[in-house]
């Protein structure tokens, strides 16, 4: 069995607001890569609940946050479909993703990198 790590380094300003974010995933070839936003969710099997960490730097503009959220929603929809094969809910989720994109004029061709 092998262990690996994914790390997120956060530099805070004097008010404890994220100023800089960097992440590393050595097995994926990522080393100290700058990012401006991170959404991390974990599942607690015993408590049957999700814990979340949502961080974004002061430099993250609202228009890019909208794209980031949209791409995250599309990725969650894709992961849900892969895990459950629930076509009906997947289609409803896709309709919401399309609505979100249309309302913010993001266009249909938003790319996401699959982490699987």
**The pLDDT of residue 113 is above 80:** no
Q: What local confidence, expressed as pLDDT, does residue 111 receive?
A: 52
Q: What local confidence, expressed as pLDDT, does residue 102 receive?
A: 95
**Model's pTM, two decimal places?**
0.85
For the CA atoms of 7, 13, 65, 38, what is the dihedral angle to 10 degrees? Answer: 10
> What share of the chain in percent tops pLDDT 90?
91
**The pLDDT of residue 71 is above 80:** yes
Q: What local confidence, expressed as pLDDT, does residue 107 receive?
A: 79
């Amino acid at each position: 069995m092998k262990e690996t790590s994914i790390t997120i380094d956060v530099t805070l300003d004097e008010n404890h607001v994220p100023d800089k974010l960097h992440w590393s995933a050595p097995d994926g070839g990522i080393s100290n890569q700058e990012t401006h936003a991170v959404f991390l969710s974990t599942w607690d099997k015993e408590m049957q609940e999700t814990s979340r960490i949502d961080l974004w730097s002061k430099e993250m503009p609202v228009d890019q946050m909208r794209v980031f959220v949209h791409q995250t929603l599309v990725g969650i929809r894709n992961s849900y479909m892969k895990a459950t094969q629930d076509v009906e809910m997947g289609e409803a989720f896709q309709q919401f993703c399309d609505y979100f994109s249309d309302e913010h004029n993001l266009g249909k061709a938003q790319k996401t990198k699959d982490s699987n």
